[in-house]
Structure 1
Amino acid sequence: MPHAVLPHPPRWLSAAQLHPRPTETVLDWLFDQGSLTRRLIALSADHFSVSPLLEGWQSLRHDECQALGVAAGSQGWVREVYLRGHDRPWVFARSVAARSALEGSGFDLSLLGSRSLGELLFSDQAFARGPIEVTRYPAAWLPAEVREEQLWGRRSCFVRGDLVVLVAEVYLPALWAEIGGQTHAGNHA
């Protein structure tokens, strides 16, 4: 399903550009440089899973083409998944790579299935992570069952030679509820 064209595309911002600034907890999750998958596994006490929603060749969105440094309207591999904790969708993730960079790279995103792309990227030392940018992710770009305005999302590019994989992660309300519950429970422990 093609993504809605928005009248005002999102502005992806660095930590320094965020005004007003979110809470320290939100900032910590948005700008953490480590593996989100590993952090979610720990938060869920190993009750973590990946649910693929969509995978295939598509025309990439304008903001994705810009981030990948390819021509507008370029084709790319798109993978959308839920990262789940305790079987609840905690994060919506959308990963894309340009067809021109993927072909001949030896990196086949179609083989991931229910494995975490993030875990693969973090375990391959050849990939370098670029800066993290954040935005209030457009509700129109989210799956219908989690569509909500003003959810925080982040993205960063993972680069290996000519291959660039853009990974965007949108933090869903169930994750913030879990973090709040853990924080709350931790105050009384």
Structure 2
Amino acid sequence: MPHAALAHPPRWLTASQLHPAPTAAVRDWLFNEDSLTRRLTALSANGFSVTPLQEGWQRLRNDECSALGVASGSQGWVREVYLRGHGQPWVFARSVAARSVLEGSGLALEQLGSRSLGELLFSDRAFDRGELQVCRYPALWLPADARSERLWARRSCFSRGPLGVLVAEVFLPTFWQHAGIDP
């Protein structure tokens, strides 16, 4: 799908910029800095799994280039997965890293398979996590089987030296239902 299909990309906002603020339960999931993988594993009573949807080199979106501090139109590694609880897709995750710094960094994103990128980033103390930002994620950016308007998403950049890995996580309706939260 062409990137130009979205006339108005979302505005990613920090907790202090978000007005009106969502409920405390929603904020807890959007702005909690612990590993989402660990939280989903606990919520699912160890029924957590990762399903890769697509990964490979492609042109990064402008908002991703800006967040990573690379030129607009840069190439990067893009990995899209579902984070599942009890087999249901709970979260759509899109992780990107600019080719210019990923190659030669020693981080082998292409070898993750069905392992969680979050676990890798949280287990490597060399990575620093940037501030969490949230938005209402554009439906056009979601996989066809998960398209829904105004879903809450969050993102943050994990940095190790010049390498930045931007991780965006979109909370799907099945997640909120299981968690018993009205988003």
Under a length normalisation based on structure 2, what TM-score does the superposition of the two structures give?
A: 0.97
Identify the residue that residue 91 of structure 2 maps to in structure 1.
91
Please give the per-residue CA displacement for 1:113-166, whole angstroms capped at 9, x wherever unaligned.
000000100000000000000000000000011100000000000000111000
| Runs of 4+ displaced beyond 3 Å | 1-5
Deviation, 1:20, is: 1.1
Paired residue secondary structure (2:21): coil
Residues 48 and 161 of structure 1: is their aligned pair in 2 closer, same or farther, counting only changes over 3 Å? same
1:175 and 1:106 map into 2 onto residues whose CA distance is: 33
In structure 2, do the counterparts of structure 1 residues 3 and 13 end up closer, same or farther at CA, with 3 Å as the change threshold? Answer: same
Q: Is the 8 A contact 1:58 1:76 kept in 2?
A: yes
Q: Indicate the SS of the match to 2:180.
A: helix
- Does residue 1:140 correspond to 2:140, yes or no? yes
The 3-state SS of whatever aligns with 2:46 is coil
Q: Aligned partners of 1:28, 1:172: CA distance in 2, in Å?
A: 16
* Equivalent runs, 1:8-19 vs 2, <5 Å: 8-19=8-19
- The structural deviation recorded for 1:19 is 1.0
Aligned to 2:104, what secondary structure does the other structure show? coil
Cα distance in 1, alignment partners of residues 155 and 4 from structure 2: 19
Distance (whole Å) between structure 1 residues aligned to residue 142 and residue 4 of structure 2: 10
The alignment partner of 1:152 has SS state of: strand
SS of the counterpart of 2:110? helix
Work out the percentage of aligned pairs sharing the same amino acid.
Answer: 73
Which amino acid letter does the alignment assign opposite residue 140 of structure 2?
A
Give 2:74's aligned residue. Answer: 74
| Equivalence for 1:58 | 58
Unaligned runs of 5+ in 2: none
CA RMSD of aligned residues (A): 1.3
Paired residue secondary structure (2:19): coil
- Cα distance in structure 1, aligned partners of 2:163 and 2:115: 20
Instruction: For 1:161 and 1:62, locate their aligned partners in 2 and report how far apart those are by CA, in whole Å.
Output: 22
Deviation at 1:2, TM superposition (A): 4.8
Partner AA of 1:64 in structure 2:
E
Which stretch shifts more, 3-12 or 95-104? 3-12
Is the radius of gyration larger for structure 1 or structure 2? 1
- Give the CA deviation at 1:169: 0.1
- Do residues 109 (structure 1) and 109 (structure 2) align? yes
**Counterpart code for 1:161:** G
Report how many aligned residue pairs link the two structures. Answer: 182
Look up the equivalent residue of 1:55 and give its one-letter code: E
Structure 1 portions without partners, runs of 5+: 184-189
Structure-1 separation of matches of 2:132 and 2:4: 24
Tell me by how many angstroms 1:5 deviates.
Answer: 3.3
Q: Which residue of 2 aligns with 1:174?
A: 174
TM-score if structure 1 supplies the norm length? 0.94
**Residues 1:121 and 2:121 aligned together:** yes
**1:46, CA displacement in angstroms?**
0.3
